[in-house]
């Protein structure tokens, strides 16, 4: 580029009417050619790299190369060629001085030092350095995204999500990149700028408060296995009742059962209570807790006619007969006559009904008998006497359960 600039400078300077425009004209044309060549080098490099990487990704059975192509890792790598080209061409307008400056007058030295063309090399160098920083930013971001995609294909990704950690690392990279860009522009040592940030610690804590809280909460959620993607949760304080579809550094996204989306701050999952239905899914059944209200006026003692009718039902026939024998032996042992309904024991229709529910559920193939199994009377209410069923269904699918 130095040779091109010199050629243009001399060619334009040979024209009598254009000699005053020789320097800016040569500079403008050379800069334009530099930009065009940088773009062409990037285009050619990108086409070659993308073509090779896509062919390799199609031929291999592994997924990691497909994710690298998907996240444009090789596209960002192609930017290194024009960046190096611009960096090493920055000095085209600043030819080296071969004469001894001590032999020049002060006026000549001042005029030479005030020539802004001498600062062009520094300007282009800074632009190329900032270009390098942006390349590294986008390249690391793409690599992190590809790494997250690869990790999400593993079987333990749902149990141990790392998206929050990836986001925190991205914030750290962007922060360092901002420091480097400022250091390049100010021509300062980055370590000096970092040391000066110590006084701004309080401000940084306020700015990144949510990210810091979210990071700590993400560690607790992941380490204690409190929630993961796919879990069904209920958090009434946040109006969330559905399945977790995403966990980030700052938020937990929940798709409610009505298909709406609720966004919950990650740290609130630690500081506030919520229900995680995953324990039910991993257990042997889904709880059935229903009550049947019985009219109090319909409750009565079973006479012989009712007992004979109940014995016709196969499901409770044995119970009615055995219970009647047990009661008869008890009354006989205690010298209680059949006419003494107050002192003796008698079967009631509510007791037989409760037993009917119990036997029916015990025989049902979809009820898990190894888990809590209970049919009981509750405290009477204005609606009657509740008979509660407390069992667990083997089929945990919501539609089948209902």
Say if residue 23 is in the same domain as residue 111. yes
Residue 382 counted as domain residue: yes
Q: Which two tokens stand for residue 228?
A: 């993961």
Say if residue 247 is in the same domain as residue 320. no
Secondary element (H or E) of residue 288: strand 286-294
Q: How many CB atoms lie within 10 A of CB 214?
A: 26
Region of 349 on the Ramachandran plot (φ > 0 left; ψ -120 to 50 alpha; else beta): alpha
| pLDDT tens, position by position, 8-62 | 656 666 665 555 666 667 777 878 888 888 899 889 988 888 888 888 888 888 8
- The total number of structural domains in the chain stands at 3
- How buried is residue 264: exposed, middle or buried, by Cβ count under 10 Å (0-12/13-18/19+)? buried
| pLDDT tens, position by position, 165-184 | 888 788 889 888 988 998 88
Residue 183 counted as domain residue: no
Say if residue 270 is in the same domain as residue 373. no
Angle of helix 314-333 versus helix 349-363 axis, rounded to 10: 130
Residue 196 counted as domain residue: no
In the prediction, which pLDDT does 109 show? 45
Say if residue 261 is in the same domain as residue 299. no
| pLDDT tens, position by position, 56-74 | 888 888 888 888 888 888 8
Say if residue 7 is in the same domain as residue 130. yes
Write down which residue in 129, 153, 177 finishes a domain.
153
Residue 139 counted as domain residue: yes
Residue 234 counted as domain residue: yes
In the prediction, which pLDDT does 98 show? 41
Given pLDDT bands bounded at 50, 70 and 90, which one contains residue 161?
confident
| Domain CATH code at residue 277 | 2.30.30.60
Instruction: Report if pTM > 0.95.
Output: no
In the prediction, which pLDDT does 139 show? 94
| Domain CATH code at residue 359 | 3.30.70
Residues 6 or more apart whose Cβ sits within 8 Å of residue 47: none
| pLDDT tens, position by position, 108-125 | 445 444 555 566 778 888
96 closest CA partner among 211, 2, 237, 215: 2
Say if residue 255 is in the same domain as residue 312. no
- How buried is residue 10: exposed, middle or buried, by Cβ count under 10 Å (0-12/13-18/19+)? exposed
* Cβ contact 48:35 at 8 Å: no
Residue 198 counted as domain residue: no
* Cβ contact 83:170 at 8 Å: no
Write down which residue in 90, 124, 153 finishes a domain.
153
Residue 215 counted as domain residue: no
| pLDDT tens, position by position, 268-287 | 888 888 988 887 776 768 88
Residue 259, CB-side half-sphere exposure with 13 Å CA sphere: 0
User: What is the residue whose two structure tokens read 């009742």?
Assistant: 241
Between residues 242 and 396, the one the model is more confident about: 242
Say if residue 232 is in the same domain as residue 146. no
* Average pLDDT taken over every residue of the chain: 81
Say if residue 31 is in the same domain as residue 44. yes
| pLDDT tens, position by position, 351-401 | 999 999 999 999 998 888 888 899 999 999 899 999 999 998 887 776 766
Between residues 185 and 224, the one the model is more confident about: 185
Residue 201 counted as domain residue: no
What range does the domain containing 257 cover?
225-282
Say if residue 312 is in the same domain as residue 230. no
């Amino acid at each position: 580029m130095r040779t091109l600039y010199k050629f243009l400078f001399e060619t334009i300077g040979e024209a009598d009417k254009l000699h005053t425009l020789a320097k800016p004209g040569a500079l403008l044309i050379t800069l334009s050619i530099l930009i065009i060549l940088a773009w062409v080098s990037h285009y050619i490099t990108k086409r070659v790299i993308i073509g090779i990487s896509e062919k390799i990704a199609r031929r291999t059975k592994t997924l990691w190369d497909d994710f690298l192509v998907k996240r444009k890792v090789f596209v960002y790598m192609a930017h290194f060629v024009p960046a190096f080209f611009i960096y090493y061409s920055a000095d085209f307008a600043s030819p080296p001085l071969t004469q001894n400056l001590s032999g020049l007058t002060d006026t000549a030295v001042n005029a030479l030092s005030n020539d802004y063309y001498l600062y062009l090399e520094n300007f282009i160098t800074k632009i190329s350095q900032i270009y390098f920083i942006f390349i590294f930013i986008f390249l690391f971001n793409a690599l992190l995204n590809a790494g997250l995609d690869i990790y999400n294909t593993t079987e333990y990704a749902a149990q141990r999500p790392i998206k929050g950690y990836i986001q925190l690392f991205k914030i750290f990279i962007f922060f360092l990149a901002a420091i480097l860009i400022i250091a390049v522009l100010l021509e300062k040592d980055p370590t000096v700028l970092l040391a000066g940030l110590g006084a701004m610690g309080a401000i940084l804590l306020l700015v990144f408060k949510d990210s810091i809280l979210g990071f700590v909460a993400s560690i607790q959620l992941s380490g204690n296995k409190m929630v993961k993607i796919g879990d069904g949760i209920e958090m009434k304080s946040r109006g969330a009742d559905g399945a977790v579809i995403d966990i980030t550094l700052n938020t937990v996204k929940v798709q409610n059962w009505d298909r709406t989306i609720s966004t919950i701050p990650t740290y609130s999952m630690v500081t506030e209570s919520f229900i995680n239905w995953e324990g039910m899914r991993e257990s042997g059944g889904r709880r059935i807790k229903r009550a049947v209200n019985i009219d109090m006026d319909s409750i009565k003692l079973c006479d012989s006619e009712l007992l004979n009718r109940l014995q016709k039902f196969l499901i409770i026939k044995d119970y009615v007969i055995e219970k009647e024998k047990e009661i008869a032996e008890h009354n006989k042992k205690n010298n209680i006559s059949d006419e003494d309904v107050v002192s003796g024991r008698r079967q009631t229709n509510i007791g037989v009904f409760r037993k009917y529910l119990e036997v029916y559920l015990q025989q049902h193939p979809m009820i898990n008998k190894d888990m809590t199994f209970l049919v009981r009377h509750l405290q009477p209410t204005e609606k009657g006497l509740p008979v509660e069923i407390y069992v667990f269904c083997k089929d945990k699918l919501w539609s089948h359960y209902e």
